[in-house]
Every structure is written in structure tokens, then in C-alpha cells.
Amino acid sequence: MLLEVCCADIDSVKAAVEGGAQRVELCADLECDGLTPSSDLILQALATGIKVHVLIRPRPGNFVYNEEEVREMENSILTAKRLGAHGVVIGALTEDGDIDVETCQRLVDCAEGMNITFHRAFDVCNDPILGFCTINNLGCNRLLTSGQKRSALEGAALIRKLVNMSQVKEKTSGRRFVVMPGAGLSADNVAQLLEQTHATEVHGSLRSLVGGAMVTTAQNVRDVLEAANKSKAIV
């Protein structure tokens, strides 16, 4: 199992590394579900040696973007690529709640050569099965999802269905597409989540209240990895 930790500051990245995570999703302003991080933070995260996937999200709120915002996202992707980031995390919807194919294709084209994750905009799209197929066809490598529920454990049934679909598509196309559960991950539920979804990657911020602030801790990362290793899931 691969563990990705969502980090909004360098201390969280260092905690993820110390705890044994294999990758971070780097963002800013986690309190509003994450925005595009600064170039300085990207460079600091890359200096730790961990794989870094950069969230590309220009503002809080919905995932319907105008032309100016799309151009900003394209520029952010090119900046992340120039700085050496391993991947980007993208997503956009139409006003009708469908995957915005035109916008997403532009972002995918900008990210050529990078690993591409479609973020939880998926969780508010109208049709998850059609959305899954659209995202796969766009050439993304991964889908981050809570199964369109508040937490990934609550959405485990849909996630398992999407994992099964991804395995079928891999057999027919030869191209791997990962369905990665995220939202509410903890050491208390990771084994159950793996057993119910058969996922091979999971995502979480793994934060605790320390000194009056919510921060990612190395111990939380270690606890999740230890609990996952005890899982009876066949992955």
C-alpha cells in the first residue's frame, strides 16, 4: 500500500517523510480544502527527497472555472513542472456538474510528462460512473475520491466499484489507473477501508491537535502504515 499525505506546510512534509509516507500532495490553505502552493514551498518539499504532487486550484469554492482561472492553472502547472515536481492534482466541472473535458484536457496537455491525479471535484459530479470513464479517457493516472460521501469509509461501496472498473480497464488497455480513497483516513479505519475497497493507495492529512493547531504528525503517519500492514485486504 502506498500512503500519500496531504501537506500544507514544510513541517507537515517533514513529518510525512519521518513517518514513512511515500508521497505528499502539496497545497496551501488546507482549511479551505487546499489551494495551489507557492514556488518556495514546492522547492522546500522537493528538497526533502519525497515525491511531490502539487495541487492546482486557484481559489476556494466550486470547480467551475473561467478562462482567466484556467490560464492561471496552466501557468501553475508549468511552474510546478519547471521546479521539478513529480505530479499535479487537477480537476474542473461544468456548470451542469459534469467533468469539464475541455478545461481538463488543457491541464493534462500542460502536465505532459508528469503524473496526474484528478482531485475530489469528482465527488460532486453528477454521474460518478460516467465521470470515472471521462477522467480515465483524459489520460489521468489517478482519481482521489471519498466515493461521493463525507468520508472514504462511508463511500467504500462506490470506491470498490471504481477499483474493480479500473482493474478491468487495465486488463483491456494495458494502462494502469489508480483509484485512491481519501477523506477521514486514520489508523483506526485504514485496515477496514483497504478490506472494503481493495485500494492500493490511500490519502489523508493525518493531523492532530498539537499546541492549539491541527498539524500532521510523524506518529500519525507511522500508525496508519502499521495498521495498514496488519490489514487482511488482498491488494
The one-letter amino acid at 75: N
Q: For residue 234, tell me if it sits in a domain.
A: no
pTM confidence score? 0.96
According to the model, what pLDDT value does residue 233 have? 62
With a cut of 50, list the residues of the chain below it in pLDDT: 234-235
According to the model, what pLDDT value does residue 210 have? 83
According to the model, what pLDDT value does residue 222 have? 98
Show the domain range for 195: 2-229
Kind of pairing between the strands at 213-216 and 207-210: antiparallel
According to the model, what pLDDT value does residue 41 have? 98
CATH number at residue 35: 3.20.20.380
Q: For residue 197, tell me if it sits in a domain.
A: yes
According to the model, what pLDDT value does residue 198 have? 96
Tell which residue, 106, 57, 107, 115, has the closest CA to residue 84: 115
The number of domains in the chain is: 1
According to the model, what pLDDT value does residue 60 have? 97
Q: For residue 207, tell me if it sits in a domain.
A: yes
